[in-house]
Amino acid sequence: MQPIHHSVKCTLMDLVLKQGEGCRTLPLAGHVGFDSLPDQLVNKSVSQGFCFNIMCVGETGLGKSTLMDTLFNTKFEGEPATHTQPGVQLRSNTYDLQESHVGLKLTIVSTVGFGDQINKEDSYKPIVEFLDAQFEAYLQEELKIRRVLHTYHDSRIHVCLYFIAPTGHSLKSLDLMTMKKLDSKVNIIPIIAKSDAISKSELTKFKIKITSELVSNGVQIYQFPTDDESVAEINGTMNAHLPFAVVGSTEELKIGNKMMRARQYPWGTVQVENEAHCDFVKLREMLLRVNMEDLREQTHSRHYELYRRCKLEEMGFKDTDPDSKPFSLQETYEAKRNEFLGELQKKEEEMRQMFVQRVKEKEAELKEAEKELHEKFDRLKKLHQDEKKKLEDKKKSLDDEVNAFKQRKSAAELLQSQGSQAGGSQTLKRDKEKKKTREEKSISDRTYTTAGKTPMVPWALKLFVQCD
């Protein structure tokens, strides 16, 4: 029994089998049940919830945040950026939304500081890096032994809304370059922002100009799919309306007896959801209602697949070997491992050689320094010896001088002591005589000149002289 061919349609009661050339129709006896398979899938998907990731790329103040608020009819947080950013950054926020029992994990990534630098050459790089980083994270999850892809938060960007300034002229080179760099990584939907700033006739010309510039520069923007009959017509029409000219507003005004999102000006009101005023409704329909699943699908099967293929090829994986035989994973792994080990050995050898060379150089440097030190030491030693010799000579001459001086001194002292001995005995004799004369004179004065007093006896005087 052959499996059921996809192109064969089954009714509830008939089972059509394709066998070789002919077809057999088997009437079913009763209800089998596999017609509920789509319902099972729907129920499973609804219970798991969906995720959708939008990236808004555009110059500062072009209305990115306002459009997101308008699209989802809510107020997402987010501070307006300044025009003084040194480079482009990406700000990502994730929200859990719910609409009639269907949960949506919505991630909005916005550029910050895009187009504010004097040199805008590298402005696209952070965006490309961000997109690649999300693909890489998913690939890593896929390559894990224990992967949990059903609970994994898929952060790959499903659509990039590229905001074009309403200049009415042509695309800026920054816009063309950025879209060109992004078109192989994400589904780009170009939109003319703040389209209320441009007149109707100018807008028509502007749209034509943008489309022709995109085509002539080979920029691949996202085309709404026309292969599904149910949406082919609407998608075909909408493709002709690209790029959508949108107006965003967080203000609600009473128009007629209805509250509507609009922008009020002194000369009138622009209604965001009025298709005669702008393409906001077209964008919302295409993005959220009709093609959300296709955007998710394209991201996975086209952009991610391309990234994955390039990455795996870069890692050395191939589908077939040069003889067109299937490439085994084991062989690829072994080949890559050997290549890696070979490179590692080569690197090790290079590093060893470099190390030996560096050691030799250092050794030579040290030897040179040692030689210089020895020479310096010898010079200093000689200097020291000369100095020492000079000092010894000087000491010797000083010692000689000291000895000569001592000799002269002792001779002088000898002469002086001899002289003082002779002079000293004569002086003593003279002093004694002088004293004796003075005493005798004093006694005679007291014996013969003192009136009224008893004179001393001569023997007593004699005794006094002797005792003294």
3-state secondary structure the chain: CCCCCCCCCCCCCEEEEEECCEEEEEECCCCCCHHHHHHHHHHHHHHHCEEEEEEEECCCCCCHHHHHHHHHCCCCCCCCCCCCCCCCEEEEEEEEEEECCEEEEEEEEEEECCCCCCCCCCCCHHHHHHHHHHHHHHHHHHHCCCCCCCCCCCCCCCEEEEEECCCCCCCCHHHHHHHHHHCCCCCEEEEECCHHHCCHHHHHHHHHHHHHHHHHCCCCCCCCCCCCHHHHHHHHHHHHHCCEECCCCCCEEEECCEEEEEEEECCEEEECCCCCCCCHHHHHHHHHHHCHHHHHHHHHHHHHHHHHHHHHHHCCCCCECCCCCECCHHHHHHHHHHHHHHHHHHHHHHHHHHHHHHHHHHHHHHHHHHHHHHHHHHHHHHHHHHHHHHHHHHHHHHHHHHHHHHHHHHHHHHHHHHHHHHHHHHHHHHHHHHHHHHHHHHHHHHHHHCCCCCCCCHHHHHHHHHHC
Looking at the Cβ atoms of 71 and 231, the one nearer to ligand GTP is: 71
By the rule CB under 6 A, 60 interacts with ligand GTP: yes
Name residues contacting ligand GTP, limited to 167-206 (CB under 6 A): 194, 196-197
Positions that interact with Mg ion (CB under 5 A): 64-65
R_g over Cα of the chain? 58
> Nearest distance from residue 63's CB to ligand GTP, in Å?
3
**What minimum distance in Å lies between the beta carbon of 127 and Mg ion?**
15
- Choice between 242 and 272, CB closer to ligand GTP: 272
Q: Could you tell which of ligand GTP, Mg ion, none binds residue 197, using a CB distance below 5 to 8 A set by kind?
A: ligand GTP
Give the per-residue contact string, 222-261, with ligand GTP (x = CB under 6 A; - = no). Answer: -------------------------xx-------------
Q: Is 66 in the site for ligand GTP (CB under 6 A)?
A: yes
Query: Can residue 271 be called a binding residue for ligand GTP (CB under 6 A)?
Result: no
Find the shortest distance in angstroms from Cβ 80 to ligand GTP.
Answer: 4
CA dihedral 231, 232, 233, 235 (to 10 degrees): 80
Q: How far apart are CA 210 and CA 190, in angstroms?
A: 9
> Is 62 an interacting residue with respect to ligand GTP (CB under 6 A)?
yes
Does 81 contact ligand GTP by CB under 6 A? Answer: yes
Partner whose binding site includes residue 60, from ligand GTP, Mg ion, none (CB under 5 to 8 Å by kind): ligand GTP
Please state the closest distance from residue 261 (CB atom) to Mg ion, in A.
Answer: 17
The residue sitting closest to ligand GTP, measured at its beta carbon, is 63
- Tell me the number of residues near ligand GTP by CB under 6 A: 17
**Closer to ligand GTP by Cβ: residue 60 or 220:** 60
282 binds ligand GTP (CB under 6 A): no
Between CA 58 and CA 174 the distance in angstroms is 10
Q: Measured from the CB atom, is 261 or 296 closer to ligand GTP?
A: 261
Q: Which is nearer to ligand GTP, 61 or 103 (CB)?
A: 61
Nearer to ligand GTP, 175 or 196 (CB): 196
Shortest separation between residue 173's beta carbon and ligand GTP, angstroms: 20
Choose the one of Mg ion, ligand GTP, none that binds residue 62, judging by a C-beta under 5 to 8 angstroms depending on kind: ligand GTP
For the CB of residue 246, give the shortest distance to ligand GTP in the complex, in Å. 7
What is the nearest approach in angstroms of ligand GTP to the Cβ of residue 115?
Answer: 9
What x/- string results for residues 110 through 129 when contact with ligand GTP is judged by CB under 6 A?
x-------------------
Binding segment for ligand GTP (CB under 6 A), chosen from 60-68, 96-104, 129-137, 329-337, is 60-68
Kindly indicate which of the ranges 13-21, 34-42, 54-62, 209-217 contains the residues binding ligand GTP, using the contact rule CB under 6 A: 54-62
Q: Name the token pair of 328.
A: 């085994």
When CB distances are held under 5 to 8 angstroms depending on the partner's kind, the choice from Mg ion, ligand GTP, none that residue 194 binds is ligand GTP
Nearest to 232 by CA among 223, 221, 220: 223
C-beta closer to Mg ion: residue 61 or 225: 61
By the rule CB under 6 A, 63 interacts with ligand GTP: yes
If we measure between CA atoms, which residue out of 30, 126, 69 comes closest to residue 272? 69
What values do phi and psi take at 244, rounded to 5?
Answer: -70, 140
Which residue lies nearer to ligand GTP by CB, 76 or 340? 76
* C-alpha–C-alpha distance, residues 206 and 241, integer Å: 12
Residue 64 sits in the site that holds ligand GTP (CB under 6 A):
yes
Residues at the contact surface with ligand GTP, assessed by CB under 6 A: 58, 60-66, 80-81, 110, 194, 196-197, 247-248, 263
